[in-house]
Structure 1
């Protein structure tokens, strides 16, 4: 179960403002369930959980195992929702150092020539035994024309075609729309394997489709457990969404009070990339028509030594949302040493999890006293099931909150503005 505690933030909101916002949240949930709100044609992220496609899960899982057994390197080529969700889950659930599976690299998420050039050099370098790396590439784009991804795919595809010749089609998997888009022309020509992005699922809501599930499977994470964790959350919130409604109402009331920034913070470095996924999910959904709370990401206690002063005593324009793991996943403890030269023997016998928890509790206390509204979102343990639940928690929260602002959560018209200017300057 995902727990949501708004107690450290509720005191900053008057009852009248909160109850007004709660009514908006209730209406927003009805719009999602009845498919009556703007953008309701993009609610496939709910439908896939209401009616799971076990055959597709099996197919993705099988290919993931095949690639995992053969590949030295697996490249995820995509931008925004085409890679952030997969990276969030992989970083949360994979070892920090070393792996018994392929190295997973990301490309196509910016236009940095140095990065891509160095990746090409690295991919060409032989392994320690002198043999060539076995490389697989998954390009993810519904349109196939997103510049960052298309450029990287062109360069990487050329490399794999030189390395494998006619067999390169076995090393390239495309995740794209069913029929439309430029990638389908390439697929038809080259015979690449293909997974379909549902037409009614937008990029930032797509982590539980083949977009995210194939890279996650290649990383060795149980995608069925992840997916059915989200299914269980879907069923739970269809029955009782009280926590989510309280959170959405609080966030709406805080928005109306003039707060403009939400710092999504975690004391677990494994969850930093999850914060990046949340940042896109909310930012691209709510930032319209002059509305929304700007989502940003921090990893504590690291960023307490850079942002902590501002959060504590700077302009009172922000709130914080803490993402918490309750049970430890490390047994590391502090040993007692003779002489106590570093003055740390007072911590002897304590686990790093306990010390980290006290740091979080102290930060919560200090920031709350510094007039920062704090929401705490927690899971009991860090595993695939709970990450699946958390994914749906934030997807549903986003839909409810953004509808309560009176805007469409599922489009992103502002994104097209930079593209138009960029293409004009490039002479397209």
Structure 2
């Protein structure tokens, strides 16, 4: 079976192979800390062995619950924010044919996302769309009180109960939450909702292989067993026992930190496949939330090529030389389409006649790589043999293991996110939430 591959040859205009090799001792040390649980954030390391610990019973239970929603619903709204949203959306978007939403018949419910913003128009339009539709809800929240998903759940739960009654609504709502505490756990126990547990030792951005990600993905009709299998295979390939020079996660972490030390403060994750957009969104949270601390860390951005070559391409080619790029490439598309000859040839494309569209795409990718390297943008290339659940599982675990090592190289705790609370405190104060009276008075005085 083929596996994900990592190509660092495009970074050696900015750093040397020796600078990467120099990280070997620390990389080995940090891997040992991750596996022994002796480093920073060691109470959130449940993701490390997760691919090998997911049981047949757990997978079957998730699949059974998914079938229950599939039988009752044409649409399922997955409610969550951050890690309770991005992993599932990334996988579903990557595996769903581009025009599936426009089909009149579907083999599985359409999964819609809510609770990831506080847009009144978004929620109003969603309510209007779901009215008189067969829909269900997956509410994903550790506490049940996170503002964005809590608002969405309150509104959509009321709509569902209005349409089908409280008894039937119980069969169409699944809660993914804490095992014992929190408002959502209390409500789920009271109402008798089917529930799945968010493990205490796995943070949101690492949770895609828990029910947080697996349940919505299964509802959408995709093979969660293949996703887990891919992650399990990658776990073996990036294990602490694998030598540094053969360990893609360790090498990626070392390359990023070498480039950071060389003044490359921005990493752009790019792709040449339109269905990878939300992989970039998931990656931005994984790396930004893990490393952006203590006034340190690489800034993460993402682009979709070739479209963004006609917007961001100019800046990437000739802007400030503080960037490097990582490209996720798909070796072989899932379909075949060739460019035909045209007798008039008014567009001048007959030189491409007989070629696959993907061959043109691959030459665009290669041309971009050479141009960017020549322009002072180091290039890391990650290649997936094809775009399917198995290789996405590999990619996710590769990135997760690498960010753990990379965060330790940066000397930060990659498993907390204290800065996320700052906006919440201000929002609660401005909304005059009970318990924030002093903060309300202080912030209103500042804003006079």
Whether TM exceeds 0.5 here: the answer is yes
User: Match for residue 325 of structure 1?
Assistant: 330
| Among candidates 253, 273, 287, match of residue 258 of structure 2 | 253
Residue matched to 1:57: 59
In the aligned structure 2, how far is the partner of 1:72 from the partner of 1:52?
28
| Alignment correspondent of 1:146 | 146
1:158 corresponding residue in structure 2:
158
Could you tell me how far apart the structure 2 residues matched to 1:296 and 1:142 are? 28
Separation in structure 1 between the aligned mates of residue 220 and residue 147 of structure 2, nearest angstrom? 26
Q: Is the contact made by 1:10 and 1:250 (CA closer than 8 Å) also made in structure 2?
A: no
Once residues 386 and 11 of structure 2 are traced to their aligned partners in structure 1, the CA distance between those partners, rounded to angstroms, is 24
Equivalent residue in structure 1 for 2:99, among 86, 97, 100: 97
Give the Cα separation in 1 of the matches to 2:16 and 2:59: 47
1:373 is aligned to 2:378: yes
Residue 356 of structure 2 is aligned with which of 351, 359, 372? 351
| Contact preservation (8 Å) 1:123, 1:133 | yes
How far apart in 2 are the matches of 1:336 and 1:70?
49
How far 1:244 sits from its partner (Å)? 1.9
CA contact (8 A) 1:21 1:252 kept: no
Task: Tell me the distance in 2 between the aligned counterparts of 1:159 and 1:15.
Answer: 59
Describe the superposition over 1:153-191 as per-residue Cα deviations: whole angstroms up to 9, x where unpaired: 110011011112122111111000101111011112211
Q: Give the equivalent residue in structure 1 for 2:46.
A: 44
Separation in 2, partners of 1:116, 1:418: 22
Query: How far off is 1:23 after superposition?
Result: 3.2
Query: Unaligned regions of 5+ residues in structure 2, if any?
Result: 101-105, 434-448
Which is further off, 162-171 or 115-124? 162-171
Alpha-carbon RMSD across the aligned residues, in angstroms, is: 1.3
Answer whether contact 1:69 1:101 (CA < 8 A) is retained: no
Aligned length: 421
- Provide closer, same or farther for how the CA distance between residues 35 and 63 of structure 1 changes in structure 2, counting only shifts above 3 A: same
CA distance in 2, matches of 1:415, 1:119: 27
Once the two structures are TM-superposed, the CA of residue 331 in structure 1 deviates from its matched residue by 0.8
Alignment of 1:376-391 (within 5 A): 376-391=381-396
SS class of match (2:201): coil
Q: Partner of 1:229: helix, strand, or coil?
A: helix
| 2:190 aligned with 1:189 | yes
Check the 8 A contact 2:14/2:262 in 1, yes or no: no
Distance 2:129 2:383 in 1: 39
Which residue matches 1:207? Answer: 208
Task: Please report the TM-score for the alignment, with normalisation by the length of structure 1.
Answer: 0.96
Q: Secondary structure at the match of 1:45?
A: coil
1:106 aligned to 2:113? yes
Q: TM-score, normalised by structure 2?
A: 0.92
Q: 2: distance between equivalents of 1:162 and 1:54? A: 37
CA contact 1:44–1:200 (8 Å) conserved in 2 = yes
Pairing partner for 2:414 from 397, 409, 426: 409
Q: Residue 10 of structure 1 contacts residue 373 of structure 1 at CA under 8 Å; is this kept in 2? A: yes
- 8 Å CA contact 2:329–2:383 kept in 1: the answer is yes
Q: Does 1:364 align with 2:369?
A: yes
Structure 2 residue aligned with 1:127: none
- 2:407 equivalent to 1:423: no
Distance 2:181 2:67 in 1: 29
Instruction: Quote how far apart the aligned CAs of 1:13 are.
Output: 1.0
For the residue of structure 1 that corresponds to 2:10, the secondary structure is helix
Within 1, Cα distance between the matches of 2:426 and 2:122? Answer: 24
Counterpart-to-counterpart distance in 1, 2:192 and 2:251: 50
* Partner SS, residue 295 of structure 2: coil
For structure 1, which runs of at least 5 residues remain unmatched after alignment? 125-131
**CA offset at residue 340 of structure 1?**
0.5
Match in the other structure for 2:7: 5
For residue 15 of structure 1, report the CA deviation from its aligned partner.
5.4
8 A contact 2:338–2:355 mirrored in 1? yes
Bigger CA drift: 394-403 or 93-102? 93-102
* Deviation of the 1:16 alpha carbon: 5.6
User: What displacement does 1:221 show?
Assistant: 0.6
Name the SS for the 2:15 alignment partner. Answer: coil
CA distance in 1, matches of 2:16, 2:398: 26
How far 1:389 sits from its partner (Å)? 0.8
Alpha-carbon separation, structure 2, partners of 1:416 and 1:306: 33
Secondary structure at 2:158 match in 1: helix
Aligned mates of 1:426, 1:254 — CA distance in 2: 43
CA-CA distance at 1:149 after TM superposition: 0.6
Which segment is superposed worse, 82-91 or 63-72?
A: 63-72
Structure-to-structure mapping, 1:254-293, within 5 angstroms: 254-293=259-298
